[in-house]
Amino acid sequence: QETRRLIDRLYGFEVSPVLWRKVQAGLSAGRVQSVATRLVVERERERIAFKSASYWDIEGVFDPASFTANLVAVDGARVATGKDFDSLAKLTAKDGIVHLNEEQARTLCTSLANTNFSVIKVDDKAYTNRPKAPFMTSTLQQAASGRLKWGAQRTMRVAQALYERGYITYMRTDSTTLSDTAVTAARTQAAQLYGADHIPDAPRRYDRKVKNAQEAHEAIRPAGDVFRTPAEVAGELVGDEFALYDLIWKRTVASQMSDARGTTATIRLGGDSSDGRTAEFSASGTVITFRGHLAAYDDADDDQDDKEQSRRLPALKVGDAVTAVSLDANGHSTNPPARYTEATLVQELERLGIGRPSTYAAIISRIIDQGYVWKRGSALVPHFLAFTVVRLMEENFGSLVDYDFTASLEEVLDQVARGEDQRLTALKRFYFGDKDSGGDFPGLAPQVAVYGDIDARAMASIPIEGSDAIIRVGRYGPYLQRGEDTRANIPTDLAPDELTAQKAEELFNAPSGEHELGIDPETDRVIMAKTGRYGPYFTEVLPEGSPKSAKPRTASLFSTMAVDEVTLLDALRMFTLPREVGNDPADGEVITTQNGRYGPYLLKGKDSRTLPDEESIFSLTLEQALELLAQPKLRRGRGQAAGPLKVIGADPSTGKEVVVREGRFGIYITDGETNASLRGGDSVENISIERASDLLAERRAAGPSAKPAKRAPAKKAPAKKTATKSVKKKVPAKKTGVGKSPASAE
């Protein structure tokens, strides 16, 4: 562990400053962190380069039993499906395949309307489904992501709590092995709950097939020699803790149960169209006759790709006639590779042999907090900043983000931990290189030594296919640039694969957010409309030579105003605020109307009232103002609250309704008890219930915000006595040298 820590420090201390100087201050690099960021960026590059292919097929409903079958062949040639196209929308097979377009599919559909179909082939195969291994860290995170919609950090936080309370074994492990005691406990419980026929004759053993697995701990399982069922702990565990314990218990018990068994039937139908073409349709269905381990844990729920389509088909034999009840032509398009989720990123790191179970959740949190990655729902989306950092690393520190090298370094660290390699030797090889010993790693120090040659501007430039514009990553965020002078901001929630040439043109043509409205006839100052951090506003340009203390007039736009449509008159009108409505006849105090951060209001001294709309600022009469002031004031947070900006849905963990609101400190989500601020990349439009649930869970786990301690009141000094002092003769202070006072000499 000491060697691992030292290498991680060397990596971070040497490479991070290069990022500060060449990209942006405050960035960090890390042995696993940088590789994880590269994986996310590479997946986004694949999505950017991806070309979608469209294809058509025909779906039919046939009697008897109204079963569904799909067109699979025309005149003996297989009908193309999504798997037949590569990432550039080209067919991977040239012969023996037919690619239907919309017109061809609809024409064939029409010509098959009166066709007499019959069964031309029936195929029955035995179906077997083996249980999955007990959980290790990565598979627990994946299952929690699929079933509970949790992020890796939330899963590990709940698992940590269960471990500390003695409900489960250690949760940071890369082992799928159960102790003999645990195997016995799982088999015994399975037999008691589901029957002796639900356990195999011999215990099941699961071997790991992942690079650099240490297997220092056994798999994650319920603690103890006898497992407590979820029903037995229901009174002690609630919410997240119960949900995760239930998942771990089911997976552990199921891992020692029998295979699920059944039959998969495939029926092939054939018929001739009115124009002489032969069409073949196929239908498949799996019928499970013995559930086995599925009685405890249906693993199809862990991942969408694992779901088995279970349906019964009618008992048919070759030659039986079937009738097409309906035939529909359907269009499809291929999809780009899915972005990583927290669970699938952990799975990929584990497959590559990079990192350790104890660090995966922290690594993902790190790349999100650093601003390299943000979450859209459960998907991990790279910021443009990540593209710049990864490119710099690939082109200048290639081996440090190379997957094979990082995995081999992980293996070296394990060898040191086992005493098979010397710590100092491993550190020297990493820092100075191993070329003297026949290796090809140049070493960390020699690579960092030439960082001055890195072209920072080139690293921060990202081309857009089909456009003469480029994406620049500046110190204050990404932006579009064309030529030297034309620029446009990039929305923070725009994913890199969505910034196409067409989208770039839209951003260039959008209102710039800053334009000159004219000159104020009274002051001769230029009036501008701008968009700032807190929204659009009017301002004036101060003349040259103005004192530093001089401040320009500013005024926020009304919510009904658009920054690209406002006029000079609008600005001058807003500059007149606050508007004096009149004096209260009762006491002569002035009443004004104003436009504030929370909307329009009227003010008399320290007494204020909210106005019904913005135009009331200019139209409100003194009588109306007095009437409003006479009404009881509804304090913020009391009275009628503003409606939510969005209702997201029910939190899968608590069942409470989660909504988005706007408060004093910005946009936040709440379930009525817990509030959580939105993070970078989150927006009102794209936040999902899964993401909201994670944010609320993190906030609950953090506990209540610490309130500053009240200062104790200063104690009064006791009254001085007025008794006569005894006077002593002063002794002249001894000289202590030039520049020193007597006090400093003591």
Question: Helix H segments across 586-683?
Answer: 616-619, 622-630
By percentage, how much of the chain surpasses pLDDT 90? 56
pLDDT in tens, 636-686: 444 444 557 778 888 887 888 888 887 766 688 998 888 888 876 677 777
Global confidence as pTM: 0.69
pLDDT score at 638? 42
d(CA 230, CA 218): 21
3-state secondary structure of 664: coil
- Nearest residue to 142 via CA among 348, 347, 363: 347
Banded model confidence at residue 437, pLDDT cuts 50, 70, 90: low
CA distance readout (Å), 690 to 99, 128, 344, 370: 39, 33, 16, 22
CA distance readout (Å), 327 to 144, 189, 358: 40, 50, 54
In DSSP notation, 27-42 reads ----TTHHHHHHHHHH
Question: Helix H segments across 397-500?
Answer: 403-417, 423-432, 444-449, 456-459
| Residues constituting the chain | 746
Tokens of 139: 């598979």
Cis omega (within 30 of 0) on the bond before 357?
Answer: no
Helix count and strand count (H, E) for the chain:
21, 26
Cβ atoms of 185 and 328 within 8 Å: the answer is no
Burial group, residue 738, by CB count within 10 angstroms (0-12, 13-18, 19+)? exposed
Tokens of 665: 């400190």
Banded model confidence at residue 414, pLDDT cuts 50, 70, 90: confident
- Nearest residue to 251 via CA among 186, 303, 345, 325: 186
pLDDT score at 740? 37
Helix (H) or strand (E) holding 391, with range, is helix 384-396
By percentage, how much of the chain surpasses pLDDT 70? 87
Burial group, residue 82, by CB count within 10 angstroms (0-12, 13-18, 19+)? exposed
pLDDT in tens, 176-213: 999 999 999 999 999 999 999 999 999 999 976 555 55
**Domain annotation for the chain: domains and CATH numbers:** 2-50+341-454 (1.10.460.10), 63-130+261-333 (2.70.20.10), 137-258 (1.10.290.10), 460-501 (no CATH), 514-574 (no CATH), 577-630 (no CATH), 646-698 (no CATH)
At residue 176, what is the residue type?
Answer: T
- 252-253-256 Cα angle (round to 5): 95
> Where is average pLDDT lowest: 507-521, 571-585, 600-614?
507-521
Helix (H) or strand (E) holding 528, with range, is strand 526-532
DSSP E strand stretches across 130-227 = none
At residue 267, what is the residue type?
Answer: I
d(CA 587, CA 71): 86
Tokens of 492: 């923070």
Residues designated as active site: 170
The answer for residues whose C-beta is within 8 angstroms of residue 144's C-beta and 6 or more apart is 150, 154, 155, 244, 247, 343
Average pLDDT value for residue range 369-391: 94
At residue 400, what is the residue type?
Answer: L
Banded model confidence at residue 300, pLDDT cuts 50, 70, 90: low
> Where is average pLDDT lowest: 290-294, 343-347, 382-386, 707-711?
707-711
Using CA of residue 11, residue 17, residue 20, residue 21, what is the dihedral sign? negative
pLDDT score at 215? 55
At residue 352, what is the residue type?
Answer: L
d(CA 619, CA 615): 6
